[in-house]
Structure 1
Amino acid sequence: MRNNTAEKGTSERGKMTREELIHSCEMIIRTQAKKLCRRYKLNNNDTISDLEQEGRLAVLKLIKKNTYDPNKSPFRVYAQPFIHGAMRRYIEKNIGNLSLSKQ
Structure 2
Amino acid sequence: MPRMSAAWFTVVFGLSYIAIFALDLALFLYYPLVRQFSFVPLIDASSGPAMHWYGLMASAGCAGLAASVCLRDRWIPEVLLQWLWIVPVSAMFASAFLLRQFFA
Larger CA Rg, structure 1 vs 2: 2
The answer, yes or no, to whether TM exceeds 0.5 is no
TM-score (norm 1): 0.33
**Of Structure 1 and Structure 2, which has the larger fraction of its residues in strand?**
2
Choose between structure 1 and 2 for higher RCO, CA contacts under 8 A separated by at least 6 residues: 2
**Of Structure 1 and Structure 2, which has the larger fraction of its residues in helix?**
1
TM-score (norm 2): 0.33
